[in-house]
Chains A and B, each alone.
Chain A
Amino acid sequence: MAEQEQQTVGQKEKEPDWSEYRGVMIVVEQRYGKAKAVSWQLLGKGRELADKLETKLYALVIGHEVEHLAKEAGYYGADEVYLCDAPELKDYRTRPYSRVCLKVIHQVKPEIVLFGATGTGRDLAGAIATHLPTGLTADTTELDVEPPPSRLLLASRPAFSEKMMATILCKRYRPQMATARAGVFQALPRDESREVPIIRVENEMKEEEIAARVLEFISETGKVNLEEAEIIVAGGRGLGGPEAFGMLKELADALGGVVGASRAAVDAGWISHDHQVGQTGHTVRPKLYFAIGISGAVQHTVGMSNSEVIVAINKDENAPIFHIAHYGIVGDLFKIVPAITEAVKKKRGLPFGPELTTTGGNRA
């Protein structure tokens, strides 16, 4: 019946029969044997989609000495895990990784394949979608499926600088593929009782057939990881300059969180792009989000409105950010933020640094 419906889309040729394509597959991303959080988040979402489709959830783990990740994938919700473990796959390289992915996709025939919308995920998905060929939706923030018999993936993503959302459909090809943003979906609680079958896959390419060499990886450990942060203290245009981010950093440190920023602050050059929330920046859902001197344009709020508790501090009482804030404070952020830092330190019994007063006084 699904096939009949598809014919009415306006295709003259007879639609291929996609009924052997079943299941949802998540391609797990890792570096040095450590999985990216987005992979487990996608397994959480994938579980929901697979249940709705009454089908299986697969994970595909590729790398070297990554068997433990295959087990982890089961703990996070996969029903079956495909594992390709070989020395040639230690570093991500497009050709050998895409060969493995293509082989598994041809073998398993999943109806949906999802990747993290990371540099690596997008690199890999773009290559695979062209090879297959099939449709690929980039950078999705909402994923749903139409129940059987349609089984269509509804892949939604922000468009036009996050001013709109659009649902992208892929009716005529299988698998339906998408990359999805980190920090948007929630991982299931890790369940060690879930022991699932692990199916080993042979690596396809020998080292001498691979042109690319990863010479070095310069890890940026100091880089903020907004997507995985539980507490974010973000600043915007109202900060008036780069100096005030020092004040935010102190509050973030007192709370045990990290510093974020609106696009306005990043564009002004006050703080680097990896701190940006919303609009081509990060989508975050921390437990606690401070929006300080951020007016709350939709480009920013779509990136953070799913935070559990939002505190907004702004001198403009009509700033739209207050609509989505659980606690709103109207006033001078340069006085209020240091006071909150102090109160938090007092509450947590943390030592008071002398820098507190000086930072507060810098701007006054």
Chain B
Amino acid sequence: MHIVVCIKQVPDSREIRIDPKTNTLIRQGVPSIVNFYDKHGLEEALRIKDELGARVTVITMGPPPAEKALKECISLGADEGVLVTDRAFAGADTLATSYVLAKAIRKAEETWGSVDIVFCGKQTLDGDTGQVGPGIACRLDLEQLTYVGKVRKVDPQARRITVERHLEDGIEVVETSMPVLVTALKELNKIRRASLPGMIRAARYKPVVWTTADFPDLDRSQIGLKGSPTIVGKTWVPEVRKVDGERITGDTPQQIAEQLVERLWSGDLSTRLGWN
């Protein structure tokens, strides 16, 4: 089997702060990490590799420093890491990103054999859209299983896969055919630590680099900023409306509680809530 994992190096958005004077993002000093949903996708690919045997190719589109993210994946056990990089790819939204990643997956198939499963994270920490996975599936005409919290069964002979999709109101068990694109939740698995041989291999590993020149049939109108239908208009820091309501005080917790209850029952709120 050949499994492709799409990953993205992202700024750790939890570390991003807003400059209170300019209302802009302070990106300086924010560490870059591998989007952790993608790492759960990688982990699942490696588990399938351990159990059934598979070649695992990791692909990322990004600037040259994203090489580091690929090396991290190699240290965990991926066979190859591909950096798809070119200035012409910059400014891509989800539509243009899925176009380039789909091209790269096709090229990976030509290089290392046809692909059975593509893993993506359910979404990235910086973009938060969850749209690239379905975009790739659509472009490559793959079956699509999003928000997967468990892979129940992979049957390479029958070319079927059974997963659990975690949705708002429950868990849906779905079976479909391969090739398939799966997007990973963090419930999918527990990410392993890199082994020493893995780390040694990663230290020496030079990722495969593909640029626009490596994709002779690339449609320039579909990549980068130009190939992106969506643009960012204005940005702002959300202002939360200030109420600065009434402070309720009292000598005892009981007094405070009774006063609060009195307030809550004073208007029509209690009627509308159906309180007796």
Contact = CB atoms under 8 A, between A and B. Distances in A.
B165 to A, nearest CB: 7
Contacts of B228: 135
A303 B265 CA distance: 25
Q: How big is chain B's contact interface, by range?
A: 35 or more
Nearest to B18: A163
B134 A170 contact: no
Contacts of B110: none
A213 B260 contact: no
B253 A159 contact: no
B167 interface: yes
Interface string A29-55: 001000000000000000000000000
Q: Which of B165, B243, B265 has the most CB of A within 10 A?
A: B243
Contacts of A308: 269
Nearest to A217: B172
Nearest to A122: B130
Interface string B111-151: 00000000000010110111101110111000111110000
Contacts of A348: 275-276
Given A302-B240, A329-B247, A159 B128 contact: yes
B95 A135 contact: yes
B65 interface: no
Given A130-B98, A130-B134, A326-B245, A331 B256 contact: yes
A165 B238 contact: yes
A328 B238 contact: no
Contact of A322 (B94, B139, B244, B264): B244
A325 B245 contact: yes
Contacts of B238: 158, 162, 164-165, 298, 302
B174 A215 contact: yes
B248 A324 contact: no
B25 A160 contact: yes
Contacts of A94: 134, 137, 143-144
B274 A126 contact: no
Interface stretch (A194-202, A232-240, A339-347): A339-347
B170 A223 contact: yes
Contacts of B176: 211-213
Contacts of B171: 217-218, 220
A336 interface: yes
B64 interface: no
Contacts of B273: 230-231, 255-256, 287-288
A246 interface: no
Interface string A85-100: 0000001011100000
Interface in B229-258: 229-238, 240-249, 252-254, 256-258
A230 B275 CA distance: 12
Q: How big is chain A's contact interface, by range?
A: 35 or more
A126 B130 contact: yes
B13 interface: yes
B235 A159 contact: yes
B160 to A, nearest CB: 9
A173 B95 CA distance: 12
B32 interface: no
A216 B235 CA distance: 43
A172 B235 contact: no
Nearest to B137: A127
Given A211-B176, A287-B273, A335 B230 contact: no
Given A164-B237, A331-B253, A326 B93 contact: no
A16 B240 CA distance: 40
A161 B14 contact: yes
Contacts of B235: 159, 164-167
B87 interface: no
Interface string A268-298: 0000000000001000000110000000001
Chain B interface secondary structure, helix, strand, loop or mixed?
mixed
A327 B246 contact: yes
A330 B247 CA distance: 8
A135 B162 CA distance: 31
Interface in B61-102: 93-95, 98
Contacts of A172: 229
Contacts of B246: 326-328
B203 interface: no
A161 B230 contact: no
A250 interface: no
B263 interface: yes
B128 A169 contact: no
A119 B173 contact: no
Contacts of B212: none
B274 A256 contact: yes
Q: Which of A131, A164, A325 has the most CB of B within 10 A?
A: A164
A301 B131 contact: no
Contact of A167 (B25, B143, B234): B234
Contact of A323 (B25, B174, B237, B240): B240
A120 B95 contact: no
A355 interface: no
A223 B252 CA distance: 36
15 contacts: A122-B130, A125-B131, A130-B134, A134-B95, A161-B14, A164-B235, A166-B232, A168-B230, A168-B233, A170-B230, A324-B240, A326-B243, A329-B256, A338-B253, A344-B261
Interface of B: 13-14, 16-18, 25, 93-95, 98, 123, 125-126, 128-131, 133-135, 137-139, 143-147, 162, 165-177, 228-238, 240-249, 252-254, 256-258, 260-261, 263-265, 269, 272-276
Given A216-B172, A343-B258, 14 more contacts: A126-B134, A161-B13, A161-B125, A211-B176, A214-B172, A217-B172, A256-B273, A305-B240, A322-B247, A329-B249, A336-B253, A342-B257, A343-B260, A348-B275
